């Protein structure tokens, strides 16, 4: 049911592209040998609110114990183990113990619809499932009859025979040597919810995942055993599993797991990270918070802040002036201190960073490297990096053993863009049990023997070989005047307005665009500019014509800086129901599920054209 099967000849041909460690078992065990006593993963104690760290050796001991237990209860090579669990020490222990028996690992989100868990468990044939707690166990029990291959469920933070602690105790008496998978063997099946239909199981091999993490590490010379990541994105997604979890563990780094987004500011100070893997939205929020704080502070502090930003901007591309060194000490150092004081840089992906915000962070001494990839490519395709430069606005150059070309066959002749096709060592084996979907996304040709996929994204290269992504091929539409619109780029820009939490743009075949604005109510209640509406409840706010006009004017004034008149929506719906993962309007990586939004708001959007 996996679409691509390499022949022995193909494996022999491709073998030269994979470097030790060629599987995730060797990757971790090699680090245990070198850095046994270094801190590997830390998480916050809920009672003391302090981080507690486990060393590589302690982590390995628990992996070994669980591997022994899984062998004893009958996990065979090629069988699947699933987790419904957020990032944790136990998440990694279950993953690596599974791989050490040649098993396949299926990670699922705790915050997911039950029907999606049911689909994924049945589709992947999970034999043993680990769930966070009793509450999730009860939800899963409701549909286990529909999952004939599911043999047992264990509670991670539980007690008794069917718990992870009991399994580890059993396994300690059953030492089992680890199996070392070949790079072509399946390691992880990542389910991508996409924006339509059932989740698709992206089949990734040990070679896909080790090579992906290695290709990133090679172009970031400041990553080493003293590097520390603050983990905020789910490892159940390919971006965080490759760029953070397997990446940091391969060179003896440390990963501190954020408690929640609400505690992010405090967790920065406790973990004191050197690096962060995140999405632009996180930096947008941090940027808005800094700007609003300085605005409210006013006085001499605000003047010094503005002067420091202006001088940093003036010194871009040249040496720091004496004035900037002084202002850096007085102002910018204090901002960096909010990140823990040793923050070097961040990778961002899933959407392109706003130019002004990226430059602001660069000015204050925090480099943000935009990268590009898909779940289907493990995920790295291109990256900005110290090794070859950081072109803000681009998503960098293709990483080692990845190749990108542009296909203009399905694009208007006058467009500078083409559909991005990606080939190489990170491309998936296919979608599990979905041969037609696999065939539709895979290219007919190969590159150096590696498969390729159609990304569905539009982009172009500059003269230095840096890639620029301009929008989704399938989301692009044409207004009745013949002009093309990329709604996602407009929505991304709308969300940079501090008073906007979420946004949606529509106009396929219409004379002009219309949109949806979800206000950021907590920000509105704190901001002195919106004080007159702060006391209203959310329902009153969105029904207040003055408030709606304020918001739509603010958004459109902002959009005028970056978009042509025909792209800017002429009318808006304002709603107090945010797009969330729970209501199905956002994917796990916070992308808008267009079909679900249109299902709920389509009639109201169409009505705007007749009002």
pLDDT in tens, 362-409: 998 899 999 999 999 999 999 999 999 999 999 999 999 999 999 998
Q: Residue 281: which residues within 8 A CB-CB, separation 6 or more?
A: 351, 495, 590
* Closest residue by Cα to residue 558 from 470, 496, 488: 496
* Closest residue by Cα to residue 517 from 481, 493, 484: 493
Compute the average pLDDT of residues 568-585. Answer: 93
List the Cα angle 139/140/145 in 5-degree steps.
125
Q: Residue 435: which residues within 8 A CB-CB, separation 6 or more?
A: 1, 3
Gap between the Cα atoms of 211 and 218, Å rounded: 10
pLDDT at 607: 96
Residue with tokens 């997911």: 112
Residue 495: pLDDT over 90 = yes
Distances (CA, A) of 163 to 127, 154, 166, 169: 16, 5, 5, 10
Compute the average pLDDT of residues 455-482. Answer: 90
CB atoms within 10 A of CB 389: 13
Gap between the Cα atoms of 60 and 55, Å rounded: 9
CB 94 within 8 A of CB 165: no
Residue 572 pairs in a beta bridge with 515
Gap between the Cα atoms of 148 and 273, Å rounded: 44
Burial of 157 (0-12, 13-18, 19+ CB in 10 A): middle
Question: CATH classification of 8-277, choosing from 3.40.50.12780, 1.20.140.10, 3.40.50.150, 3.40.50.1370?
Answer: 3.40.50.12780
CB 264 within 8 A of CB 296: no
Gap between the Cα atoms of 366 and 221, Å rounded: 16
Residue 588: pLDDT over 80 = no
Gap between the Cα atoms of 88 and 44, Å rounded: 10
CB 422 within 8 A of CB 377: yes
State which fold the 284-472 domain adopts. Answer: Rossmann fold (3.40.50)
The residues spanned by each domain of the chain are 8-277, 284-472, 477-608
Q: In what order do the strands lie in the sheet with 367-373?
A: 51-55, 39-44, 254-257, 228-231, 275-278, 345-348, 367-373, 380-383, 397-398
Distances (CA, A) of 400 to 3, 218, 382: 24, 9, 9
Phi, psi dihedrals of residue 583, rounded to the nearest 5°: -95, 10
Compute the average pLDDT of residues 462-471. Answer: 94
Q: Indicate the pLDDT class of residue 197, thresholds 50, 70 and 90.
A: low
pLDDT in tens, 84-95: 999 999 999 999
CB 601 within 8 A of CB 573: yes
pLDDT at 1: 47
Residue 460: pLDDT over 90 = yes
Residue 196: pLDDT over 70 = no
State which fold the 477-608 domain adopts. Answer: GMP Synthetase; Chain A, domain 3 (3.30.300)
First to last CA, the chain: 52
Residue 457 pairs in a beta bridge with 472
Check for a shared fold between 8-277 and 477-608.
no
DSSP string, 218-252: TT-TT-STT-EEEE-S-TTSHHHIIIIIIHHHHTT
CA Rg value for the chain: 25
Gap between the Cα atoms of 605 and 54, Å rounded: 52
The percentage of residues in the chain with a pLDDT greater than 70, rounded to a whole number, is 99
pLDDT in tens, 96-147: 999 999 999 999 999 888 989 999 999 999 999 999 999 999 999 999 999 9
Gap between the Cα atoms of 274 and 269, Å rounded: 11
pLDDT at 362: 92
Gap between the Cα atoms of 538 and 548, Å rounded: 12
Gap between the Cα atoms of 605 and 574, Å rounded: 11
Q: Residue 90: which residues within 8 A CB-CB, separation 6 or more?
A: 130, 156, 157, 164
CB 597 within 8 A of CB 579: yes
SS3 4: coil
pLDDT at 558: 95
Residue 2: pLDDT over 60 = no
Q: Indicate the pLDDT class of residue 541, thresholds 50, 70 and 90.
A: very high
Gap between the Cα atoms of 609 and 611, Å rounded: 6
* Closest residue by Cα to residue 399 from 378, 430, 376: 378
Q: Residue 429: which residues within 8 A CB-CB, separation 6 or more?
A: 2, 3, 4, 5, 186, 203, 204, 205, 208
Six token digits for residue 28: 């971790």
DSSP string, 497-565: STTEEEEEEE-TTSSS-EEEEEE-HHHHHH-GGGGGGTTS-HHHHHH-HHHHHHHHHHHHHHHTTTS-G
Gap between the Cα atoms of 473 and 374, Å rounded: 14
Average pLDDT of the chain is 94
């Amino acid at each position: 049911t996996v679409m691509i099967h390499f022949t022995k000849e193909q494996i022999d041909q491709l073998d030269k592209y994979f470097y030790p460690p060629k599987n995730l078992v060797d990757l971790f065990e090699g680090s245990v040998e070198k850095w046994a006593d270094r801190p590997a993963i830390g998480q916050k104690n809920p009672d003391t609110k302090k981080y507690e760290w486990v060393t590589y050796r302690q982590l390995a001991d628990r992996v070994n114990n669980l591997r022994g237990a899984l062998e004893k209860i009958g996990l065979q090579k090629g069988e699947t183990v699933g987790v419904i669990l957020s990032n944790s020490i136990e998440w990694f222990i279950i993953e690596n113990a599974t791989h050490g028996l040649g098993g396949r690992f299926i990670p699922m989100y705790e915050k997911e619809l039950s029907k999606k868990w049911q689909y994924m468990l049945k589709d992947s044939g999970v034999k043993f499932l680990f769930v966070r707690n009793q509450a999730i166990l009860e939800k899963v029990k409701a549909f286990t009859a529909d999952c004939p291959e599911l043999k047992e469920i264990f509670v991670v933070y539980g007690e008794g025979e069917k718990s992870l602690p009991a399994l580890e105790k059993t396994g300690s008496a059953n030492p089992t040597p680890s199996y070392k998978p070949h790079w072509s063997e399946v390691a992880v099946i990542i389910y991508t919810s996409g924006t339509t239909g059932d989740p698709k199981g992206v089949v990734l091999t040990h070679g896909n995942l080790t090579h992906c993490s290695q290709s990133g590490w090679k172009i970031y010379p400041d990553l080493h055993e003293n590097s520390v990541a603050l983990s905020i994105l789910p490892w159940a997604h390919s971006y965080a599993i490759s760029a953070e979890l397997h990446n940091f563990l391969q060179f003896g780094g440390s990963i501190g797991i954020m408690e929640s987004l609400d505690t992010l500011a405090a967790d920065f100070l406790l973990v004191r990270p050197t690096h962060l893997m995140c999405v632009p939205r996180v930096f947008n929020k941090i940027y808005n918070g800094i700007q609003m704080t300085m605005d409210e502070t006013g006085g001499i502090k605000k003047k010094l802040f503005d002067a420091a930003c202006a001088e940093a901007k003036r010194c871009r591309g040249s040496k720091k002036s004496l004035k900037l060194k002084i202002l850096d000490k007085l102002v910018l150092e204090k901002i960096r201190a909010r990140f823990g004081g040793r923050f070097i840089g961040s990778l961002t992906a899933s959407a392109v960073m706003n130019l002004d915000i990226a430059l602001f962070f660069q000015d204050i001494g925090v480099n943000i490297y935009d990268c590009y990839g898909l779940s289907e490519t493990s995920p790295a395709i291109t990256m900005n990096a110290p090794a070859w430069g950081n072109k803000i606005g681009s998503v960098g150059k293709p990483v080692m053993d990845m190749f990108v070309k542009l296909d203009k066959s399905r694009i208007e002749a006058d467009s500078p863009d083409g559909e991005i096709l990606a080939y190489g060592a990170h491309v998936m084996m296919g979608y599990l049990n979905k041969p037609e979907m696999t065939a539709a996304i895979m290219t007919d040709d190969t590159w150096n023997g590696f498969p390729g996929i159609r990304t569905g994204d539009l982009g172009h290269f500059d003269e230095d070989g840096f890639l620029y992504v301009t929008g989704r091929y399938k989301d692009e539409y044409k207004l009745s005047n013949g002009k093309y619109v990329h709604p996602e780029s407009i929505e991304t820009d709308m969300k940079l307005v501090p008073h906007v939490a979420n946004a949606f743009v529509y106009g396929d075949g219409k004379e002009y665009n219309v949109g949806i604005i979800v206000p950021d109510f907590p920000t509105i209640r704190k901001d002195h500019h919106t004080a007159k509406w702060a006391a209203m409840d959310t329902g009153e706010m969105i029904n207040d014509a003055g408030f709606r006009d304020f918001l739509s004017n603010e958004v459109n004034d902002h959009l005028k800086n970056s978009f042509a008149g025909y792209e800017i929506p002429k009318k808006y719906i304002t709603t107090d129901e945010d797009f969330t993962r729970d209501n199905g309007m956002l994917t796990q990586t916070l992308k808008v599920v267009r079909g679900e939004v249109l299902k709920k708001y389509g009639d109201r959007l169409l009505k705007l054209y007749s009002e």
